[in-house]
Chains A and B, each alone.
Chain A
Amino acid sequence: MKKILLLALLLAGCMVAFAQQSGGVEMADTMRSEGKIYVVIATITIIFVGLAIYLFAIDRRLKKIEKEK
C-alpha cells in the first residue's frame, strides 16, 4: 500500500509539471475546447478503466482458485 501511495504521489508530480508547461504552441486548441475532445478522452478512459477492473477481477479469481489447491 505504501508503494502504491508513493506511486500516486509521483504521478501527481508529473501532472503539475505538465500544467506548467501548457500554453505557448497552439495546435487544435479549438478541437480541445469546442471539438469535445474531452468526451473522447472520457470514453477511452472509461473503456480502459473497465478493462483494468476486468483484469484485476480475473487476477482475484485466479488467486482464489490457486488457494484452493
Chain B
Amino acid sequence: MTNDKNLPLPSMKFIYQTWWKVLAVLIILYTLVAGFLLDVPKLPIMHETIRNVYFHVPMWMAMFTVFTISVIYSVAYLNTGNEKYDLIAVECVNTGTFFYVLGLITGMMWAKYTWGAYWSNDPKQNSAAIAFLLYCAYAVLRNSIDEEQKRAKISAIYNIFAFPIMVVLIMVLPRMTDSLHPGNGGNPAFGKLDMDNHMRIVLYPAFIAWCLLAVWIASLRYRIRLIEYKRNEIN
C-alpha cells in the first residue's frame, strides 16, 4: 500500500475533468451526422449498411479500451493491495461487458442482412460468444466470493488471464481460418476492399470518441462504487 506512487498510472484527476467528456460528445455527434451524410463506397450486398462500420466497430474499440484499463488496474491492485484499483478494474469490466453486448447485437443485426442469418456459426461470432462467456464467468466468480480481499485478488488474477484469451479469441483465431467477417481469413481489418479514405475520416474519430465515452461511463460507475465502498467501511 506504500508504493502506489511508484506505479506509472495516470492521475485520478482526469476522471473528474470535463473537457474530454465534451470532446467525446461532440465527436460522436459529428460521426452521427457525417456517418449518415458522407459518401460511402458502393458495394454489392452491403449497400448503405456499410455505414454500420461507424457504429458497430467503435463498440468493440470501446470495449477493448475499458478492458485494457481494467487489466492495468488489476495488475496495480496485485502490486499494491489498494482496494480502489480493484474497484476501477471491476467497473471497467462491467462497462466493457455492456459494450460487448452492444457489439454482439449490432453485429448480429448486420449479419442478418449481409450474411443471411443473425447467427451463422462464423468463427468470428463463435469466438466472440466464447469470449463473452469468459467475462460473464468473471462476474460469477467475483460475486461468489464473500471475503473482500480474496475476492479482489482472485478476480484480478482471473481478469489478467481472461484478457489475453479474449484478444486471441476475437482477434487472432478468426484470422487463421476463413470467416465472413472482414479482416479475417488473412485480410487485414479495414482493408482496401471494403473501406476508402472517406470512411476513415469518420471511423477514426468515432473510435476515439466511443472509447472516451466508455471510459466516462466506467469512471461514473467507479465513483458511485467508491462512495458505496466508503460508506460500508465506516459502518
Interface of B toward A, CB cutoff 8 Å: 16, 18-19, 21-23, 25-30, 32-34, 36-40, 42, 48, 198, 201, 205, 216-217, 220, 223-224, 227, 230
A contact residues vs B (CB 8 Å cutoff):
3-4, 7-8, 11, 14-15, 17-18, 21-22, 24-25, 27-28, 31-32, 37, 40-41, 44-45, 48-49, 52, 55-56, 58-59, 62-63, 65-66, 69
Chain B residues lying within 8 Å of A11, measured Cβ to Cβ, are 26-27, 30
Main secondary structure of the interface of A (DSSP, over half): helix
Given contacts A11-B27, A62-B224, contact A32 B40 (CB under 8 A): no
Q: Is the CB of A7 within 8 A of B22?
A: yes
- Cβ contact within 8 Å between B48 and A18: no
Q: Which 8 pairs of residues, A with B, have the shortest CB-CB distance?
A: A52-B25, A3-B19, A25-B39, A62-B223, A41-B36, A44-B32, A7-B23, A4-B22
- Inter-chain CB contacts under 8 Å: number: 72
- B196's closest neighbor in chain A, by CB? A25
How many angstroms between the C-alpha atoms of A1 and B216 in the bound complex? 19
Looking at chain B's contact residues, the main secondary structure is helix
Do B33 and A45 touch (CB < 8 A)?
Answer: yes
Contact A8 B26 (CB under 8 A): yes
CA distance in complex: A62, B223 (Å):
7
